[in-house]
Amino acid sequence: MSGIHLFVPMLHVRDAVGEHTRALRDLLVAEGVDCRIYIENPDPNTVHETRHYLEYEDDAIAGDVLVYQMATRSDMVAWLAGRPEPVVVNYHNITPSEYFAPWNNWIARHQALAVLELEDLAPTAALGIGVSTFDADELRRCGCPEVVVVPVANVRIPPTPPDPTTLATLRGPEGEDGPRWLSVGRLAPNKAHQDTIAALFIARATTSPEARLTIVGSPSEPAYARALRRYAAELGMHGAVTFVSGISDGALAAHYVAADVLVMLSEHEGFGVPLVEAMSHGLPVVAFAAGAVPEVVGDAGVLLEEKGPRRVAQELAALIDDPVRRESLVVAGRARPAALGLDRAGSDLVAALLGVAGRAPGVSGVPGSDVPLRPAAPLSH
């Protein structure tokens, strides 16, 4: 039986692309589709659920569809471009190399090459799937002939319940009532966590002396992560800024529930999963309007056109001190995942892939492969 197989350079747990890939595999398998995940470099945590991509040559069956999860460069791309099977590019955005250049020359070159690979692969792709309109536009610019928008498939709706132990710890004893800012995202230069720390410094010096910030994210660029810690310490906020990584979904949910506001000042976002996670947990969002952030947040959060620390501190203080506005954002935020189509993102994605499978030459036995391809509606603003 032919299948729909997923290709990703590395499969990480608690990583946006990794979790999306695993969720998609589970959805396809639930539909009765033969689906395996192929990787280039093994991750010890997921090695048992993946195969090396060159092994696919022995597994290939006529009628297969190959889905590439693209966010970085990989030798896999040249190999996929030479394959006879239809290739779908599920595009999660490539962080521009200039963000990494000052920190990590190797990753910067890697990202620059990834853009070239996208330009090579996109024109021959059977379908391009952008997780946002922002990403879809980039696919079109690179020559992808057919593009649809389907959001990421790994946002849990309803959201994961908070881990009670973590929640109790985070809420702490009575009396520690300063505003709790939360920022979620890898410690990578494009996330601009330093801007959030600077805003916290201003807030503590002016409107909110007791404000605290928790940054949840893996230190994916160690030099940048070290710089953030030094920066916070140099500003005398060693105790006010907490860095957390490697936590469970329940613990992350507890952070969303315990916080007063999610701050995301990232300068480049292909989607922004933490935004919808926060909104679905009833946490108001204040975000810099970059990349796909405006279409994801819509009217359900505070969007900033500029993010000077005074402006950010002012917006956060105004939001936290205004219970009526805050409540209206909470209500709008809870409705946002459904408005974005996240509740049906999995089925939309499966339908899109089955549509490609239905057109594939030599297709045999892919359930539902007669489902016509239906372009997903663009995300509303």
Partner 1 sequence: MSPDVPAPDGGPDADVTSDVADRIRYLDEVMAEIDAEVRRRRASGDLPAGLEQELDELFLEFSPVGLQGRARLRETLSLVDGSAYVDIAVPTSSNKAVGSYVKRAIRKGLGWYMNFVVAQIVKFAWSVSRMFHVVVDHIEDLEATVEANRSPDLPSGLVPATPTGSTWWAPAAVDALVGVSDRVVVGDCGDGSLVEALTAAGVDAYGIDPSDIALEPALDRGADVRAEPVLGHLAVVSDEALGGIVLTGSVQWLRPNERVRLLDLASTRLVVDGILVLHSSSPAAWAATASPVVRDLAPGQPLHPETWAHLLRSRGFTVTATIFGGDDRQLARVGAGAADAAEVNAAIDAINDLLLGPTEYLVVATRER
Please identify, among the stretches 11-19, 156-164, 172-180, 198-206, the one whose residues bind partner 1 according to the rule CB under 8 A. Answer: 198-206
Of the residues 61, 79, 120, 242, which one makes contact with partner 1 according to CB under 8 A:
79
Q: Note the maximum CA span of the chain.
A: 68
The yes or no reply on residue 49 touching partner 1 (CB under 8 A) is no
What count of Cα atoms within 13 Å lies in the side-chain half-sphere of residue 251?
A: 11
The yes or no reply on residue 124 touching partner 1 (CB under 8 A) is no
Q: Token digits for 129?
A: 């799937």
Task: Show the site string, 223-262: x = touches partner 1 by CB under 8 A, - = not.
Answer: x--xxx-xx--xx---------------------------
Helix (H, G, I), strand (E, B) or coil at 259: coil
Q: By C-beta, is 12 or 307 nearer to partner 1?
A: 307
The yes or no reply on residue 57 touching partner 1 (CB under 8 A) is yes
The yes or no reply on residue 84 touching partner 1 (CB under 8 A) is no
Q: Rounded CA gap, 319 and 302, in Å?
A: 9
Q: Token digits for 67?
A: 């889905």
Q: By C-beta, is 198 or 342 nearer to partner 1?
A: 198
129 neighbors 356 (Cβ within 8 angstroms): no
Of the residues 77, 136, 258, 313, which one makes contact with partner 1 according to CB under 8 A:
313
Of the residues 44, 48, 58, 106, which one makes contact with partner 1 according to CB under 8 A:
106
Q: By C-beta, is 187 or 332 nearer to partner 1?
A: 187
121 neighbors 82 (Cβ within 8 angstroms): no
167 neighbors 257 (Cβ within 8 angstroms): yes
Please identify, among the stretches 78-86, 143-151, 177-185, 289-297, the one whose residues bind partner 1 according to the rule CB under 8 A. Answer: 78-86
List the end-to-end C-alpha distance of the chain, in Å, as a whole number: 41
Task: Show the site string, 21-40: x = touches partner 1 by CB under 8 A, - = not.
Answer: --------------------
Number of residues that bind partner 1 (CB under 8 A): 31
Q: By C-beta, is 141 or 310 nearer to partner 1?
A: 310
Q: Rounded CA gap, 143 and 122, in Å?
A: 6
Whose CA is closest to 54, among 18, 7, 11?
7
Residue type, 321: D
Q: By C-beta, is 13 or 54 nearer to partner 1?
A: 54
Q: By C-beta, is 28 or 215 nearer to partner 1?
A: 215
Burial bucket for residue 176 (CB in 10 Å: 0-12, 13-18, 19+): exposed
Of the residues 88, 155, 198, 253, which one makes contact with partner 1 according to CB under 8 A:
198
Task: Show the site string, 140-179: x = touches partner 1 by CB under 8 A, - = not.
Answer: ----------------------------------------
Whose CA is closest to 155, among 292, 331, 24, 28?
24
* Strands laid side by side in the 65-70 sheet: 50-52, 37-39, 4-8, 65-70, 87-91, 127-130, 147-149
Q: Rounded CA gap, 236 and 193, in Å?
A: 16
Please identify, among the stretches 23-31, 131-139, 293-301, 304-312, the one whose residues bind partner 1 according to the rule CB under 8 A. Answer: 304-312
How many of the other CB atoms lie within 10 Å of CB of 60?
Answer: 16
Q: Token digits for 148?
A: 């649809």
Of the residues 145, 172, 209, 362, which one makes contact with partner 1 according to CB under 8 A:
209
Site for partner 1, rule CB under 8 A? 54, 57, 75, 79, 82-83, 102-103, 105-106, 194, 198, 201-202, 205-207, 209, 223, 226-228, 230-231, 234-235, 308-310, 313-314
